[in-house]
């Protein structure tokens, strides 16, 4: 729990879900409900402000996530990453960085579109893309083949459903608060509650189905739920979800039919707050799960010489372990192991290595690798001209002749 990345990830997902869920609540629930009562414009302005605040937190926490991830990849402190530009290779040379840039643009566009309430469809589409894209850099995005594509779609659906329900709960709670103090909101809040209940039912169904798919891909079996740390976190997440589901059932089948009674309003407001608190606990678990390897995706760490530089590159098509020995400026050689997801040897026809130095004034190095008897690929005669954060690219030719490119930053010492 001491890892700051856990809290930063949890905060980022909470802010993203809040922003996108509020946009969904405005477009799918509040504005589509019964005739809008007096004071609705002020209520919508409050929700718009909530979206802007959430987007600001999402952008700042996303920047912190980038810095912490760069520090972890490069084995340096966050201060060193900030002072020496260590985040740039992660930002521009990795899938995480590409998705980060796209989501930053989407967040800014969504914030600007909130000035124009008439752009409801564009707002909903942008919010959906913003909340679903993190699936590309999660465990689902690293699963190969057709199964990986299905897992990725399932994870995107999971995020969208969480955004619609969990992300919309604060806006729903605010609507209940507004209705308790504003006269003439009885019919509106009853209609809004019924519509949000339908959104909740659809979201819960999607969460259950996609959760089963995700668990199937992330766990090696049901026993992991009690026998492994990763599985126990998922079990705890399931328990919190069941508690939220129980509260939602009370809201749907007992309290909603009693609206617009004042007592039902108070109970709905209280239960919604409880759901929000449970949801925050779920997001904290999401932050923890993202920093751990799933039990179905555990890879053995190869032995790396003390003075060598090493990076593991994981892509949907293949994986590569790259060791540069010695990992400092000067002459060196590289060993590359190309693998499938199950750690078996990838049947590569050809492997090439490219090393891009930290400064553009020096041209990149490109070498063909030679296959060894043990299945590894070796590159000799490398001259690393300077220390710093280099970019290593492995270009693998598959048995069908397709080029698979894997890239990641690697630190070369003095």
Most confident option among 96-110, 245-259, 395-409: 96-110
Percent of the chain residues past pLDDT 90, beyond the cut: 33
What's the mean per-residue pLDDT of the chain? 85
Which tens digit of pLDDT belongs to each residue from 106-152?
Answer: 999 999 999 998 888 999 999 999 999 998 876 555 555 566 677 78
Read off the pLDDT of residues 263-311 as tens digits, 9 standing for 90 and up: 888 899 999 999 999 989 988 888 788 777 666 555 556 677 888 888 8
Question: Residues 217, 223, 226, CA angle at the centre, nearest 5°?
Answer: 110
Residue 65: name the closest of 108, 99, 23 by CA.
99
Which among 33, 40, 43, 27 is positioned nearest to 259, based on CA atoms? 33
Model confidence at 169, pLDDT cuts 50, 70, 90, reads very high
CA-only gyration radius of the chain, Å: 25
pLDDT value at residue 171:
94
Structural tokens at position 387: 């220390």
Look up tokens 């779609």; give the residue: 153
Residue 57 is predicted with a pLDDT of: 96
Lowest-confidence region among 87-101, 319-333, 372-386: 87-101
Query: Which has the minimum average pLDDT: 20-34, 319-333, 365-379?
Result: 20-34
Q: Is 368 exposed, middle or buried (0-12, 13-18, 19+ CB in 10 A)?
A: exposed
* pLDDT surpasses 90 at 230: no
- Tokens standing for residue 376: 């590894």
Position 332 confidence tier, pLDDT thresholds 50, 70, 90: very high
Q: Which two tokens stand for residue 209?
A: 């189905």
Q: How confident is the model at residue 78 (pLDDT cuts 50, 70, 90)?
A: confident
Residue 1, pLDDT score: 44
Rounded alpha-carbon distances, angstroms, from residue 295 to 142, 373, 381 = 14, 31, 39
For residue 106 the two structure tokens come to 């989407």
């Amino acid at each position: 729990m001491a890892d700051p990345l856990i809290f930063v990830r949890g905060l980022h997902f909470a802010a993203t879900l809040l922003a996108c869920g509020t946009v969904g609540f405005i477009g799918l629930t509040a504005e589509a409900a019964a005739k809008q009562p007096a004071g609705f414009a002020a209520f919508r302005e409050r929700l718009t402000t909530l979206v802007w605040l959430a987007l600001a937190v999402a952008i700042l926490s996303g920047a912190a996530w980038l810095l912490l991830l760069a520090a972890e990849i490069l084995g340096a402190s966050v201060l060193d990453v900030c002072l020496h530009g260590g985040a740039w290779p992660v930002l521009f040379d990795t899938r995480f960085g590409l998705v980060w840039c796209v989501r930053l643009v989407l967040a800014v566009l969504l914030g600007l579109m909130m000035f124009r309430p008439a752009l409801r469809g564009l707002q909903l589409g942008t919010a959906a893309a913003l909340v679903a894209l993190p699936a590309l850099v999660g465990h689902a995005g690293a699963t190969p083949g057709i199964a990986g594509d299905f897992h990725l779609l399932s994870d995107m659906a999971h995020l969208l459903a969480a955004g619609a329900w969990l992300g919309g709960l604060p806006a729903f709670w605010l609507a209940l608060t507004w209705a308790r103090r504003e006269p003439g909101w009885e019919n509106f809040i009853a209609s809004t509650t019924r519509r949000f209940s339908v959104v909740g039912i659809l979201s819960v169904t999607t969460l259950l189905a996609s959760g089963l798919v995700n668990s199937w891909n992330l766990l090696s079996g049901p026993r992991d739920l009690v026998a492994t740390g990763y599985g126990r976190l998922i079990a705890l997440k399931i328990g919190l979800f069941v508690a939220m589901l129980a509260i939602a059932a009370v809201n749907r089948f007992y309290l909603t039919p009693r609206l617009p009674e004042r007592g039902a309003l108070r109970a709905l407001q209280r239960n919604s707050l409880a759901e929000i608190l449970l949801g925050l606990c779920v997001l904290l678990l999401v932050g923890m799960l993202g920093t751990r390897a799933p039990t179905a995706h555990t890879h053995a760490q190869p032995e790396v010489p003390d003075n060598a530089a090493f990076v593991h590159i994981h892509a949907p098509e293949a994986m590569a372990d790259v060791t540069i020995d010695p990992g400092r400026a000067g002459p060196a050689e590289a060993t590359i192991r190309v693998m499938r997801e199950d750690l078996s040897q990838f049947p590569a026809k050809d492997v090439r290595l490219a090393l891009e130095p930290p400064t553009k004034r020096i041209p990149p190095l490109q070498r063909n690798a030679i296959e060894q008897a043990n299945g590894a690929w070796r590159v000799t005669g490398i001259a690393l001209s300077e220390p710093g954060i280099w970019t290593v690219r492995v270009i693998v030719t598959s048995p069908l002749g397709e080029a698979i490119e894997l890239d990641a930053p690697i630190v070369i010492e003095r």
